[in-house]
A = this chain, B = another copy of it.
Amino acid sequence: MNSTDRLQPLRTALAEITDLATAQANLHWDYQVVMPPRGAALRAEELATLETIIHERATAPALGTLLDEAADNLNGADPESDDASLVRVSKRDYDKAVRVPGELRSEMARAGALGHEAWVEARKQKDWAIFQPHLANMLELKRRYVDCFPDVDDPYDALLDDYEPGMKTSEVARVFEQLKAELVPFVAAITAKGDVVDASCLHGAGAFPRERQEALIRRVLSRIGFDPAGWRLDVAVHPFATGLGSQDIRITTRYDESHLAGAFFGALHECGHGLYEAGSDPALERTPLRGGTSLGLHESQSRMWENLVGRGRPFAGWVLPQLQEAFPAKFGDLDADGLYRAVNRVERSLIRVESDEATYCLHVILRFELEQDMLAGKVDLDELPEIWNERMRDYLGIEVPDVAQGVLQDVHWSEGIIGYFPTYALGNVIAAQIWAAVRSEEPDLDDRFAHGEFGPLRDWLRDRLHRHGRKFLPAEMIERVAGRPLDVAPYISYLKGKFGPIYGLAADR
């Protein structure tokens, strides 16, 4: 018996858990994309049942025994081999899962459901007081969750680890401090230039009929890697991507007939997630190693296709004739430089999900800081809306008119998702690191993009990142792909190199 044969019982157990998780992901997709609305109550029960069964299996003592036996049977297999990685990563997952009592998980799930309901109402009424006690309760539960991991350096580490395995709060704080120090004055300098970028080509009442948007998006995505034999594109209120195995990738977008950028760049973004999901080595199918290694790495891929490719100058040159054909009234008289400038307009805005590349990270840093303070009990929750508003003033120079456009804008806290926000900004930072690496190895990428050839970038990403799935932790993966640890410099340099010229800033900015 070789080590692979000896691992068969473990592989079978993990394959079943993976199948159940994929079924659960399919029910989530269905819920958000095709389910008739009256099905919601029963769907919640089904999802809860699947969650319970998955959790039972993922924490079963028998699985722990299989994992220990498998570790003994590796016989010095290369740590980078599929077998050794399967045992290592699954053991990490198992050890985390068994730390948290089932009751606490149930309490968190219930609190998340109630919190979400309260949040919807609070937003509608623009009344923070409706949501505040739910947030207080959620934080109390999160503290109990953190107590399950007594060996963390920082309480926030325990939350962050669920989304960015192995990442430390101190590391994120260091990176974010550097970002903030650069971005706050940079955004101020840009906005001081006034409204010098004309983005009117992207707006116009009813100017972008849905069918034309969709046809254009499908044409563009098919050049990037979307293939109807293994992908779907649908509409969802809250766009997302999901990989039901590497051969069934489902992305979503939403159309606004008066504004093109939302659906177009949203689809590029989700396509980036989809390529990561599609790119796992086929040998990892039906194992917990398939998929992306962290939310930050995942976001690096979506951001890369959305921004570094999709909002780049070569892409603008390639896509402009297609835009002109689809929407002649809006793009007929535009040149590629004009398009490039339009899709890179910077604006101090209230809403994170609508913000541009230059300001986005500041929205995230604000949340990261508040989450740590809340978890540590350093914030009087009564005052949270005002603290939020102050920081928006300090970081972005903008006044928040009400809580719906302020502290209540994101769904995350309502469902008890705390520790997730940093991954959005980390995605930007990591994307720029990978971008620098691939461009030094493949110097003709711009030229390829200008001809609509995206295969070289996609294949490079698959080879260096995607195919490894969850085999390596984020920190390891970043070093492998970018050749060095998490580093904010390439991102700052990218932003300055891009927005400096667009906004006519002095080169030393």
- Report which A residues bind B (CB closer than 8 A): 15-16, 19-20, 22-23, 26-27, 30, 34-39, 41-43, 45-46, 49-50, 52-53, 228-232, 244-245, 247-249, 285-286
Contact = CB atoms under 8 A, between A and B. Distances in A.
A490 to B, nearest CB: 35
Given A19-B49, A23-B46, A23-B50, A38 B248 contact: yes
A36 B231 contact: yes
A42 B229 contact: no
B30 A286 contact: no
Given A23-B50, A26-B26, A42-B244, 14 more contacts: A16-B53, A19-B45, A19-B49, A20-B53, A26-B30, A26-B46, A34-B232, A36-B249, A37-B230, A38-B229, A38-B230, A39-B245, A39-B247, A43-B248
9 contacts: A16-B49, A23-B23, A26-B30, A35-B248, A36-B229, A36-B231, A37-B229, A38-B248, A42-B245
Copies of this chain per assembly = 2
Nearest to A40: B247
Contacts of A38: 229-230, 247-248
Contacts of A39: 230, 244-245, 247-248
Nearest to A248: B39
A38 B231 CA distance: 9
A181 to B, nearest CB: 46
Which 8 A-B pairs have CB atoms at the shortest separation, nearest pair first?
A: A39-B248, A19-B49, A38-B230, A38-B247, A42-B245, A19-B46, A36-B230, A16-B49
A58 B414 CA distance: 37
A23 B27 contact: yes
A484 B507 CA distance: 92
